[in-house]
Structures are given as structure tokens and as C-alpha cells.
Structure 1
Amino acid sequence: MLIESFFSKECDRQLEFELKDVLYDAEDIIEGYRSKIEASKRDQVRKRSLTTALSSYYEDVSFRYQLGNKIKKVNERLDKIKKDWDMVDRLKKTPKEGGKDPVHGEHVNAKKATHHIGIQQPIGRENDKKVLVEMLSSNDFCSKTEKGGASIISIVGNGGIGKMTLANMVFNEVEQQFMEHRWWLCVSERPNHKDLVRQILRELCKSVGENTDCSLTVLCTQLLNEHSKEKIFLVQDDVWEVKWWEEEIRGTLMAGAIGSKILITSRKKYVFEGMGAFYMHELQEFSFHQSWYLFVKEVLREGQTEEDLVMHKIKFVGEGIVKKYGGLPLVIKMVGSMMRAKKMSREDWNSVMDSKIWEWKTPAASSSSTEIGGVILPGLMLSYDDLPYYLKSYFVYCCIYPKDYEIEIGTLIMQWVAHGLIEVGIDVEATTSQYIENLIRRCLIEEIDLKSIKLHDILHDLALFIGGREHGHASTTE
């Protein structure tokens, strides 16, 4: 069954990590032993007193005893890994019912249109957009501070619920109100104060923001001089905490021209209070009707209609799948894109509907920025597990970049080549372009423009969860 295959892959991954850890520790032991030998040779050249010789003897005995214990522990760990691997092998050899992978099934050509936030028309958030635009246009609300004319409103909701999509809809809607004085800032987790101010300055005034030697106070003064001239609209996307907002940055941004508005998005309600927002818009999960509408839009290929689902007797199966999503648009898009690549057969669709992966949960990771545990994980894992093996490696590799980082495609391809992910002798440009297009079509990465891509925060968490310690060391938001 798929769940057995899935868990055996997870076990393989975990055992591989454990084996690498043991090998790294073994290398450290060998290197320590070599260093000790070199030190002993140097001591033998020197003339030593009896006391020094005795002290050195006891040190050697102690070192050899510790070395023996370390080697013993390494051997014990290797024995345990060998036993665990034998268990996984037995699991893999368990016969599968029907002799066919029930979820992967047979893939058919997907439609050519790419699906990502930049192209696809947002669905199901028109009422939310209307409320927020009215708030931004109203003069009845003002800042909770006494320092100026800027006001803050917030969008709060779980990861994958569509906060950034809604903020983008609002950003475009208020163009006439704020004209060219609109800016978008990705804050992310544990931001650097000076870098944030410098980033805003780069948007307001290109030349001012390039001075990297200024103190935070000087940068804030420059920023205040710029944004006090005209009312502005600033989106601060993905705010995790409020320490960066304190003192100078808060005073600077809130002291802008009267009528200035700041829109923040966050998964944390305390951010709304900590930043002094006058209104919190708590984004709700999609209703079943909204979820179904988005699912159908993702599933149907060119020329197909909902009647095709009825004709193939799979509409009720699709409805059952949609009920498992929890109303999260990101998961709906991902699983819908996965289903689009399958045949319209009850067998293929039922295999997804009945998958035990839907029952799989994992505790939240230690990082406060991770939300892939709980109800959101099964849909993400189903979509990832359905990828061809080579696309899995390319997707997971992207977790080496920080969250919200715009990845330059050319640089990414060179890194894929350098790390041996691209086979020698193929047309690298054509092949990697197709791989990236496939990942975009599967809604696993977002296309920023023709030269850059990025990962949604939740998908960055997924890639980091799958990549684990192999790639995780390079990923940082600090």
C-alpha cells in the first residue's frame, strides 16, 4: 500500500541521516587520533623529565580508553542502523495489492498554462478585499499613537490560508488612492532592523538607501524625511514578532504624512496588538463551495467542464477529497494540480481519497515559523510524493535559501549542476527550464518573473522538513 511505501521512504531518509551522522563522528575520532599521534611524535623529540614522562603516559592511557569507548559507541550505532535497515527492507518486500502504485497511477499531459499567484486570478476573497479597501479609504480610523498620521490594519490567519494573496489584491485595488507611493516589504522571521529600514529607503529613494555605513538613527531620519512628504501605503508581509518594530522604526513609520496606511500580514494575533493596529481582519478557511470551485478550476484541463467529472463518475470522489483539505487554498491548489495530471478514473481518484496519508500527522517543529504539522501536512505530502523522483530533489534543494528569498533561476541552475543534481551530457538549459515549469505547474514554487522564483513559506517549511539536516544547515532567516 502507498502508506507503507511512504513510511519506508521516510525511514530510508531518516536512516540515511543517522548513518551520515555516524560517519561524521567516525571521521572526527580518526582526526583526533591523528592529531594525538602527531603530538606524541613531537614530544618524543624533546627531552622530558621523569615527571613529564609519567604524566604523558597517564594521558595516553586515558586517551586510549576514551578512544575505545568512542569506537564502541560508533559500532553500536552502526549495528542499530543495520537492524533498522533490515526492518525497512522487509517492509519494502511486502506485496502490494493489485501490483500498482494506487496514487501515482498513470500520468497524462497537463495543460500548458502555469499556475501561480502572479498569473492566476484570486478566488473567494472578494468580500475580504472589499472590507479592507473600505477600511483603508475611511477617514474614521486613525493611528493609536500620538506621533503622526499613519494607521495600521492587519490580516491574520493560518499558513496557507491566503494572507499574501489577499494583501496583493488590496495592494492593486488602492493604486488610484496612493498612486506610485505603494511599497511591499517582506519582513519574515527575526528581521534585521537596519536592513528593513534600508530596504524601505531603497524603494522610496534609490540613492539614499545605498549607504550601508549609516546607523539605524540616521537611516530612520532619512526615511522620515522621505515618507513625510506624501501619504504612503506600505505592506509588511509575514510579520512574526514585534521586537523590530519598537522604538525608532515604529516612531519613524508612524510619523508619516496624514492618511498613510500600513497593512501587515501575520499568523500571530499578538502581532496585531503589539504593532498597535486599529483593525484585525481574521481570515477564515474557505467554505466547501469556495473550496470546490477552486479545486475544479485546478483539476480541469483545457476544454473540460464539471460535467466531465459527472460523466466519469468521479465528482462525488472529488467532493470527498475537498472535504479533507480544511479549507486551505494552498493545499487545494496543490492537490488539484496533482489530480489534473491523473486520468479521470474512479480507481485513480479513489486511491487519493482513501490514502492513509490523510491520517498522518506530525508534531510542530521546534521552530516557531513552522506550521506544516497537523491538518495541512497530508495534502502537502501527497503532492510531494506524487512528483517524479528527480523533481523531488530539485524542490527540496530550494530550502537552502532563506524564507521569502527571490531565487535567481540562473544561480539556482548552477548550484544544481555543482551539486550533481543535473546529469552530465544533457541540454542543461532546456531540461532545467522544463523542470522549473513543472514545479510551477504543480504550485510548489511561485514564478516572480522570467528570471526569478520563490517558495511559499509553508512550502519552504515542507522542503526543510523533507531535506532535514542534509540541507537545513544553509537555511537561515537571520
Structure 2
Amino acid sequence: MAEAIAFDIATELITKLSSRALSQVGLWWNLKHDIDDLTRTVRTIKAVLLDAEEKSVTDNLIKVWLEELKDVLYDADDLLDDFSAESLRKDLMGGNKLTKEVRLFFSSSNQFAYGLRMGGQIKAIKTRLTLIGSEANNFGFLVRDRPIETSFMTKKRPQTHSFVPKDKIIGRDDDKASLLKLMLEFESEENVYIIPIVGFGGLGKTALAQFVYNDKMVHDHFELKMWMCVSDVFDVKIIVENIIKSATNRAPDQNLEIDQLQRQLRDIIDGKKYLLDLDDIWNEEREEWISLKELLVGGVKGSRIIVTTRSSRVAKITSKCQPYVLKGLSDDDAWCLFKEIAFEQRYADSTNSAFVEIGRQILERCGGVPLVIRTIASTLFYKETEKEWRSFKNNELVRISQNEGKFLPTLKLSYDHLPSHLKHCFAYCRLYPKDHEINVQTLVQFWIAQGFTKQLNPSQSPEEIGFGYFKNLVDRSFFQEVKNDETWFTTCKMHDLMHDLAESVAGIESCVVDSDKIASKVIENCRHISINPSLIPLLKGKKLRTLLYISNNRVRNLSDDEIWDLIITRCRYLRVLALNDLGIEKISPSIYK
């Protein structure tokens, strides 16, 4: 997301470099000239960044240039954090003036040496920026001081229409009827009959499965219903634990072994006509599937397992029957969905021949895929004129090419049309695992800690601004399964394709570290990491701003001091540290060093 955040980092840097506090720091360490020189360099580059951002959408060389620039800007920002910490340490050191000066001279942070070292680092950063700035001349950037204002940046959508409820799924009635016949009427030789639903990402396999799962006839037909999202990791023990949790509304004891868990599962399903939905399976290893299936055969005749997957190979190894292959929406249903979202507050435009013609031409590129239709229609909702629609079609949509199942380029158009502050808020969500239920309040706090929220109105709290950002992303269909209480949003999820998009736009800046192999490949420039804590010793990077533990997987025990010593030694620039559910009870004394 270099193109989205470079301008914001440069703006924040100039604010810090121009502050009275840093001016005082410059006088202390005889660095005022170096700081002023760096400020002028950053200002010069910032002047062309808005134009660079716009052009990077279609020019990969500019995107690479922005990535290099962003890394230097991050380093400069980290250096200013160093100044701030050292300044605070200097102020807090006790004793009279002479005693303090003696302590400082003989301390590990000798002030004269510190000033020389910082001066050298400032000059090194300025040299890197000057080189990058000279390369900008090759691109012919224009100087701009503000983004081009467009209606999609300011127009609001009513909260009550931010997503379509499951009972309003469009164009899937025939699919639902076909699946109900397989579930309620078909006579199978096996007690437990497995029905795979196959289709590429974004078609609505999960939505269709939920549509059927919540049907009243299904509710009355089965004694027991269970839902489990499997996703990338096919771990039989974890799957069994979650099936038990779904059936009993209570998680089993985490210390139980697989033999104890399988007995619990058999006690729950044996002798019952059950329905189990295993959503989003990726595992293509037959033996692993059989090891799970053997635990599920105890249901009485008429029991059903629904499997949703993108892989026909998965369908083949899970069931003897022909999979139910989900197709894209018909042209009429696709138009109905598109029209409902794009013209939500402008019904008159939905019958305007010019808008209809352009809309149907745009719709042809969506391939009947509901997620793509919703996302593109949500973007067009914020464009009110025929000129804006035609520009979107002629200047942006025509530049992308895609095959069936490869819709990230289309989805990225909606990302490209986000204001910059929403771009890096969305890309930050790449740190969550797929299908993770995201706590919205915690996510907003992470955004605030990273400095993504901008307080333009003094009467608004950072939390209110952050929740406003989240709602804007919901309105544009970047999140799904959004839940709320009487006051505000509580949890949400991201569709797998949206998660893929977040991973794509985040680039090398963010990484999920869940194996030794990935940990060894994390480059020094990575700034945000979600990690299994047992892998922290393998990390090489020292520029991290985020270190999260977001996982249901067990980790090997690490002592409190071991974890803290590693973090404190290697992660000087952290802004977010979240190691929930690890039982850490104290902070290591090494933090005082």
C-alpha cells in the first residue's frame, strides 16, 4: 500500500520536523541545520506524491518507486521516535545539573556521541531521499497539494442499508430448491450423505449454504445442526473441537487429546439425524479427509454434510456424488443486484437510459459474481454523474483483464477509489487470519495506534473517527457478516477474496508468520506482523510497528522473560503489541534498560 500511505507519512513527518519540540532537540545536539535540511527535502518530495499515487495505479515502476520512498520515510519517522525517547530520558534523569551531565556522559547514551550518531543517520536518510527525489524527475510528476475531490469521498450511505441480509439473497432461489431436494428428499445408500458445493471465490457458496442451513424445513427436519468453517488449515483435532463447540455452544477442554474428543463427538452425533456444514475446505489430501470422515459416520440415515470448496478435487475426495457446481448469476439477477446497490438513493437514475447502458456494460466485466458486483456497485454508488460512470468504464475498467475465478483486478478498482486514509486501514486487516471474527473496537484501536486516524474535527474523539472509517469500508462492501449492538458495530469478517485483496495491496509491509519457513523469509522492511509467539526468536527484522498474536492454534510455552526480552531487544518501534491469551503475567525488568 505504498501509494496510499507515503503521502500521509510525509505529511506527518513534516509536522514533527517543524515542531517546537524537535527544534529544541536540534539545539541540544547541534542538529538544527540537519533537521531543517531534511524538512526541505521531504517537502519537495511530498509535493508530487498525490500525482504519483494516482499514476501508480497503472504504472508498476512508479509503484516500486513509492515502495522504496515509503521505506525511507518510515525510517525517518522511526528516527524521530528515537529523538523523542532520548529527549524524554534526558528530562527524566534526576540530580542537579552537574550530576545529570556526568551521568549522561558516562551512560551508554553519551550525549556527544549520540548527537554525532544521529547527525550521521539524518544525513544518510537525506541522501537516500535526495536520490529517490532525483528519480522522480524521470516520471514527470505534477505538483499537487490536495487530492482531486470526488463525490465518493464524502457521500454517506444510511447504516440500515450497509449490507444485504441473508433473506434477501438475489438469484439463488433455484439453487436453494435443488439443494433442499438433495437434503430432504434424496434417498442415499449411506447414512451420512455428503453434498459438495463447488465454485470459485465470490460466487456466494457460503451465503447459499447459510440460506439453506437457516431454512425452516431444514430446521424441522434435522435433530442437530452444526456449522464449522475449516478454511486453510485442515487440522482434525481443531475441526472436531469446533464441531463440538457448535453442537453444544461450549468449547471442550483444550487439554483433551484427540481420542477423548472423538468420544465426545460420537456421543453427540450417534443416533441422531444431523446436518453439518463444513465451510471453505481447501485440503486435497484424501487420507486427512478420511481421518475426519470416520469420526462423522455415526449419524442415522438421512444425515447430511454440506462441504463448500473452490476445488473440484476436494469435492471428489469428500463425496461419491456429483458436486453441486455453483454458477454466476443470470444477467437479469446480476442487474437486479447491481441496481439495488448502485442506485440505492437515486431510483430515477436506475431507469435513465444513459446510466442503464453504462451500468450493463460495466456489469459484463463482473462475470455474474455477486461479490464483484456488490463491490463495483458500491463504488459507483458514490459517483453521481454520467460523466463519472463513463470515465470509470472507459479509463479504468478497460485496463484490467481477468479469467474466470481471478477477480482481484476488478475488486482492486474499488480499493483504488478509496480515500488514502481508508486504503491503509483496509490493508492493515491483512494481519487477521481468513474467516477470523474481527473485534471492531480492537481494530479501531490498532488504527489509532498506527496513526491512521486523522482528527480534523476537535469535537470528535479518535474512536469516533475510527468507527466512522470502519463504517465507510462497510458501506463499500469491504467487510461482511457485520454485527452490532444497540450503540455501534461489534464484530465483522472479511470474504476470502477481500482478504486476498488486502494481502495483495499490503505487499511486503505486512506478513502473517505461522511457520518456520515464513519466519525465516520475513525481510527487515516488514513493519506489521501477526505471529505464532513460538516463532518470535526466528524474526530478523527490527523495524516492526505491529506484533500480534491472532490464532486459535496452540503454541509451545515460552517464559514471560523469554518473550519480553526478545521483543524489547528487537522491536524498538512497536506501536501495537497484542499477545492475548498467552497467560503473560509480568513485564521483564529488561524493559528498563
TM-score class normalised by the smaller sequence: 0.7 to 0.9
Query: Shift of residue 4 of structure 1?
Result: 2.8
Distance 1:16 1:191 in 2: 40
Question: Who is 1:152 aligned against?
Answer: 194
Q: How does 1:264-275 map to 2 (within 5 A)?
A: 264-275=307-318
Letter in 1 for 2:171: G
Distance 1:151 1:379 in 2: 37
Contact 2:278–2:306 (Cα < 8 Å) also in 1: yes
Residues 1:378 and 2:419 are matched in the alignment: no
Query: Shift of residue 315 of structure 1?
Result: 1.6
Moved more, 402-411 or 247-256: 247-256
Q: Secondary structure at the match of 2:276?
A: strand
Query: Shift of residue 394 of structure 1?
Result: 1.3
Contact 1:113–1:441 (Cα < 8 Å) also in 2: no
Question: Who is 1:397 aligned against?
Answer: 428
Question: Who is 1:7 aligned against?
Answer: 58
Question: Who is 2:538 aligned against?
Answer: none
Question: Who is 1:124 aligned against?
Answer: 171
Closer/same/farther in 2, CA of residues 142 and 86 from structure 1, 3 Å limit = farther
Distance 1:95 1:421 in 2: 24
Contact 2:188–2:302 (Cα < 8 Å) also in 1: no
Q: How does 1:115-194 map to 2 (within 5 A)?
A: 115-116=162-163, 118=165, 121-143=168-190, 149-173=191-215, 174-178=217-221, 181-194=224-237
Query: Shift of residue 330 of structure 1?
Result: 0.5
Q: Secondary structure at the match of 1:253?
A: coil
With the length of structure 1 as denominator, give the TM-score of the two structures: 0.75
Query: Shift of residue 152 of structure 1?
Result: 0.4
Question: Who is 1:314 aligned against?
Answer: 355
Letter in 2 for 1:182: K
Q: Secondary structure at the match of 1:182?
A: strand
Distance 2:266 2:131 in 1: 64
Q: Secondary structure at the match of 2:299?
A: coil
Query: Shift of residue 281 of structure 1?
Result: 0.8
Letter in 2 for 1:443: S
Closer/same/farther in 2, CA of residues 180 and 231 from structure 1, 3 Å limit = closer
Distance 2:371 2:500 in 1: 13
Letter in 1 for 2:389: W
Contact 1:103–1:348 (Cα < 8 Å) also in 2: no
RMSD (Å) for aligned C-alpha atoms: 3.3
Distance 1:298 1:319 in 2: 14
Closer/same/farther in 2, CA of residues 92 and 251 from structure 1, 3 Å limit = farther
Contact 2:375–2:477 (Cα < 8 Å) also in 1: yes
Contact 1:3–1:357 (Cα < 8 Å) also in 2: no
Distance 1:117 1:166 in 2: 13
Closer/same/farther in 2, CA of residues 247 and 112 from structure 1, 3 Å limit = closer
Moved more, 261-270 or 165-174: 165-174
Q: Secondary structure at the match of 1:314?
A: helix
Query: Shift of residue 407 of structure 1?
Result: 0.6
Distance 1:212 1:328 in 2: 40
Contact 1:3–1:355 (Cα < 8 Å) also in 2: no
| Structure 1: gaps (5+ residues) | 24-74, 144-148, 363-370
Q: How does 1:92-103 map to 2 (within 5 A)?
A: 93=141
Closer/same/farther in 2, CA of residues 331 and 102 from structure 1, 3 Å limit = farther
Using the aligned pairs only, state the percent identity: 26
Q: Secondary structure at the match of 1:453?
A: strand
* CA offsets 1:158-188 (integer angstroms, 9 cap, x no match): 1111111111111112433345621211100
Distance 1:421 1:95 in 2: 24
Letter in 2 for 1:467: A
Q: Secondary structure at the match of 1:191?
A: coil
Question: Who is 1:419 aligned against?
Answer: 450
Contact 2:195–2:306 (Cα < 8 Å) also in 1: yes
Query: Shift of residue 115 of structure 1?
Result: 3.2
Query: Relative contact order: is structure 1 or structure 2 higher (C-alpha 8 Å, sep ≥ 6)?
Result: 1
Distance 1:419 1:100 in 2: 22
Letter in 2 for 1:232: Y
Q: How does 1:428-439 map to 2 (within 5 A)?
A: 428-439=462-473
Q: Secondary structure at the match of 2:202?
A: coil
Distance 2:153 2:291 in 1: 58
Q: Of 350, 372, 375, which aligns to 1:331? A: 372
Residues 1:351 and 2:351 are matched in the alignment: no
Distance 2:410 2:194 in 1: 34
Question: Who is 2:477 aligned against?
Answer: 443
Letter in 2 for 1:355: N
Closer/same/farther in 2, CA of residues 374 and 194 from structure 1, 3 Å limit = closer
Contact 1:399–1:460 (Cα < 8 Å) also in 2: yes
Query: Shift of residue 118 of structure 1?
Result: 4.2
Closer/same/farther in 2, CA of residues 226 and 351 from structure 1, 3 Å limit = same
Q: Of 199, 209, 213, which aligns to 2:242? A: 199
Question: Who is 2:502 aligned against?
Answer: 463
Closer/same/farther in 2, CA of residues 155 and 85 from structure 1, 3 Å limit = farther
Contact 2:279–2:309 (Cα < 8 Å) also in 1: yes
Q: Of 276, 281, 288, which aligns to 2:319? A: 276
Distance 1:379 1:348 in 2: 17
Closer/same/farther in 2, CA of residues 88 and 135 from structure 1, 3 Å limit = farther
Distance 1:414 1:308 in 2: 39
Closer/same/farther in 2, CA of residues 183 and 277 from structure 1, 3 Å limit = farther
* CA offsets 1:48-70 (integer angstroms, 9 cap, x no match): xxxxxxxxxxxxxxxxxxxxxxx
Contact 2:334–2:373 (Cα < 8 Å) also in 1: yes
Distance 1:16 1:206 in 2: 50
Query: Shift of residue 390 of structure 1?
Result: 1.1
* CA offsets 1:82-135 (integer angstroms, 9 cap, x no match): 767655554362599xx9959877754434433335467100111111101110
* CA offsets 1:306-333 (integer angstroms, 9 cap, x no match): x524447322111111111122110110
Q: Secondary structure at the match of 1:200?
A: helix
Closer/same/farther in 2, CA of residues 437 and 356 from structure 1, 3 Å limit = closer
With the length of structure 2 as denominator, give the TM-score of the two structures: 0.61
Distance 1:15 1:186 in 2: 39
Letter in 2 for 1:297: E
Closer/same/farther in 2, CA of residues 82 and 273 from structure 1, 3 Å limit = farther
Distance 2:482 2:252 in 1: 24
Letter in 1 for 2:467: S
Contact 1:157–1:284 (Cα < 8 Å) also in 2: yes
Distance 1:156 1:342 in 2: 35
Question: Who is 2:278 aligned against?
Answer: 236
Distance 2:167 2:302 in 1: 31
Contact 1:361–1:375 (Cα < 8 Å) also in 2: no
* CA offsets 1:187-240 (integer angstroms, 9 cap, x no match): 001232211111111122345x42112221221121011111321111111100
* CA offsets 1:450-470 (integer angstroms, 9 cap, x no match): 111111010001001111221
Contact 1:152–1:262 (Cα < 8 Å) also in 2: yes
| Structure 2: gaps (5+ residues) | 1-50, 77-123, 485-489, 513-528, 532-550, 554-593
Distance 1:120 1:12 in 2: 47
Distance 2:463 2:379 in 1: 25
